[in-house]
Amino acid sequence: QAYRVDLVPNTGPGTKNEAQYFAYIAYDIDLFEGGSIANLTASIIGNVFGMKAVKALRLEDMRIPVAYLKTFPGPATGVIVERERMDKFGRPLLGATTKPKLGLSGRNYGRVVYEALKGGLDFMKDDENINSQPFMHWRDRSLYCMDAVNKASAATGEVKGHYMNVTAGTMEEMYKRAEFAKSIGSIIIMIDLVIGYTAIQSMAKWARDNDMILHLHRAGNSTYSRQKNHGMSFRVICKWMRMAGVDHIHAGTVVGKLEG
């Protein structure tokens, strides 16, 4: 039910811009399957974006009833537990992404991680497309990175960490990589947004069951969040990911990508 329609400021009659509108739409909660981001998105954005009746459409925000929110597990740990495990309080956590991200061997990649952690960072993270390339197999990278974490912790007397990217082509492979990360001492794993909502929920369930922190890289979000008149707001993606069970999400550089 569309219960309110407002004209977007500086559009329509008396302006140089074509009329645009904010439409406020309410859905009956019984139309949705509980605990399913896939069903929620299929209902909200599934077909309406392809209708010829609208030239462009953008999902700006969602207000989700508490009764429906409670059908989702939400984050298993969050930043509070991460602070406890890393023994860091009273200040922001400081981390970085390994660069250059492609082309390094596992040994050299681990060396970068060690130098960064020893130099003062709390954690390092894999980038979105660091998976299992010919020059650096995922298992080698995981071993070298955890070795770097352990050596940096010993050298500094502080708890250090590394976000292990377990993104892969199948759920079975992601579970295998996540299990390996856990077995060698990692407390944090990472996945990419591009794996899909159901896969994200599945990995969140695994992380909860295995007492692991789950980080999500927003890779691919700009394909639908960058345009101001079509697609969806990153705010909505963040809400969905929190419902799905992600502990924290990659938000990008404050001043803009490749800026500063």
* pLDDT tens profile 185-212: 999 999 999 999 999 999 999 999 999 9
pLDDT tens digit string along 26-79?
Answer: 999 999 999 999 999 999 998 888 888 888 899 999 999 999 999 999 998 878
Contacts of 167 (CB under 8 A, 6+ apart): 128, 131, 174, 190, 191, 192, 194, 195
Q: Which of 162, 215, 217, 248 is catalytic?
A: 217
In angstroms, the CA 159 to CA 55 distance is 52
pLDDT of residue 1: 85
**Domains along the chain?**
2-69 (3.30.70.150), 79-249 (3.20.20.110)
Give yes or no: 52 in active site.
no
Give yes or no: 217 in active site.
yes
Per-residue confidence band for 254, with pLDDT thresholds at 50, 70 and 90: confident
- The single residue listed with the structure tokens 């922190």 is 213
Contacts of 24 (CB under 8 A, 6+ apart): 2, 3, 4, 5, 6
* E-state strands within 15-66: 21-25, 58-59
pLDDT tens digit string along 100-148?
Answer: 889 999 999 999 999 999 999 999 999 899 999 999 999 999 999 999 9
Per-residue confidence band for 257, with pLDDT thresholds at 50, 70 and 90: low
Does pTM top 0.85 for this prediction?
A: yes
